[in-house]
Amino acid sequence: MQVIAPETMGMSAERLKNINSRLSEFVEREQVAGFVTLVARDSEVLHFESCGYRDAEARLPMQTDTIFRIYSMTKPITSIALMMLYEEGKFQLSQPVSHFISEFGRTKVYQGAGYIGPQLAPQNPPMTVHHLLTHTAGLSYGFFQDTPIDEMYRNSIFQSESATLEEKIRGMAALPLCFQPGSAWNYSIATDVCGFLVQLLADMPFEDFLQERIFAPLGMVDTAFHVKPDKLDRFAKLYQHLPQHGGFREYKGEPDIPFHDYTQPANAPSGGGGLVSTASDYWQFAKMLLNDGELDGARIIGRKTLEFMTLNHIKPELLPLAIGPIPLPGKGFGLGFDVVMDAAQTGVLNSYGNFGWSGAAATNFWVDRQEQLVGIIMTQLMGNLLTFQQDFRALTYQALVD
């Protein structure tokens, strides 16, 4: 990948050096194994560097072509895929999900504990596709602890490694919703349901749709639901943050996010968190977003559709947002992306209207239309409580000089 002189795009090369200097401190203190970072402006890459290790025990260096589990950074890709079908007239956002997945027409809503079990009520209003895309559908994930529904998720078919995507989604419709659709925001398996909707509406496997309609046109050659044998030497090891010890260890899986074998094709490709990718591949996706839905002659999504997706769709009474105990100050949510509504409240350098998302292993990206800026940080650290994402964002913005 060509990296051009930052000064040609109004950024300081000297100040951009602060990124690697700061992130290297986390590596040297043995808090994080390694990083790959990318900064671009006006569709030109100005910084693309690595530090540390993709395998700390074997001392294999992190490289710019290292492959990462991007977990929930899959969600923006899935959301774009579904909205591509919206542009073809396959559905309306206000349509009930049960119109396409009949099982959700029978899904009840949890109303509290009763003497002989949960009290349940009919959906009112019915869950819509818009609810799915905005995480207001009443679904959950299973790694929260605030309702009995999450315990049901932890023991559900969604955790199965052998079930198909169709079996998982239709099976999950048997569990109660945490709340009435549209009445709250709750991070959830909703985007996995969106992936199944893509499969139904396009009448082709979800993974094939992504490959044919997004990955191939954008040149995302390393993005997939598993890592092929000839690429395994580039696949980063997954670690877990140990705050009590100030370091990390290899992640072997926990009840909330089990360890998944990415060396084998997925039986149920997860639209919510199943992809692996590289920083350069994700840059192709982010550059398409920065360019209003088009890249090198390939129109992925319409300009107006993308503009609509990156508006805040969450009602004021449902703000502020939080993922469990983690607050998202100053942010709303669009159709698959978080959206900066109040830059000052986010607590880090930002612009109004920024949009992006993170992954469970501490990957993150954002697109800033105001500054024509993209930032991508890749690492593999579960349970991260460190500040490197905020540091990376601040150190990117401080390099703007024009």
Distance CA 175, CA 139 (A): 9
For residue 258, what pLDDT is reported?
66
Rg of the chain on CA atoms, in Å? 21
Average pLDDT along the chain: 96
Any idea where the domains of the chain sit in the sequence? 67-225+266-336
User: CB-based burial of residue 331 (10 Å sphere; 0-12 exposed, 13-18 middle, 19+ buried)?
Assistant: buried
pLDDT digits (tens, 9 = 90+) for 7-47: 999 999 999 999 999 999 999 999 999 999 999 999 999 99
pLDDT digits (tens, 9 = 90+) for 59-117: 999 999 999 999 999 999 999 999 999 999 999 999 999 999 999 999 999 998 877 77
Tokens 């994402």: give the residue.
389
* Confidence bin at 192 (pLDDT 50/70/90): very high
Apex 394 CA angle, 388 and 396, nearest 5: 100
For residue 12, what pLDDT is reported?
98
Distance CA 282, CA 304 (A): 22
pLDDT digits (tens, 9 = 90+) for 220-232: 999 999 999 999 9
For residue 253, what pLDDT is reported?
80
Measuring CA to CA, which residue among 378, 377, 335 is closest to residue 132? 335
User: What's the pTM?
Assistant: 0.97
**Mean pLDDT, residues 349-359 taken together:** 98
* Confidence bin at 243 (pLDDT 50/70/90): confident
What percent of the chain shows pLDDT beyond 70?
A: 99
For residue 308, what pLDDT is reported?
98
155 backbone φψ class: left, alpha, beta (φ>0; ψ -120 to 50)? alpha
Give the sign of the dihedral formed by CA 134, CA 137, CA 139, CA 145: positive
Please enumerate in sequence order all residues whose Cβ is within 8 A of that of 116, keeping only pairs 6 or more positions apart, or say none.
none
For residue 115, what pLDDT is reported?
74
Distance CA 32, CA 4 (A): 28
For residue 142, what pLDDT is reported?
86
CATH architecture designation of domain 67-225+266-336: 3-Layer(aba) Sandwich (3.40)
pLDDT digits (tens, 9 = 90+) for 290-342: 999 999 999 999 999 999 999 999 999 999 999 988 999 999 999 999 999 99
For residue 323, what pLDDT is reported?
94
Apex 237 CA angle, 232 and 242, nearest 5: 175
* Confidence bin at 281 (pLDDT 50/70/90): very high
The tokens for 206 are 């979800």
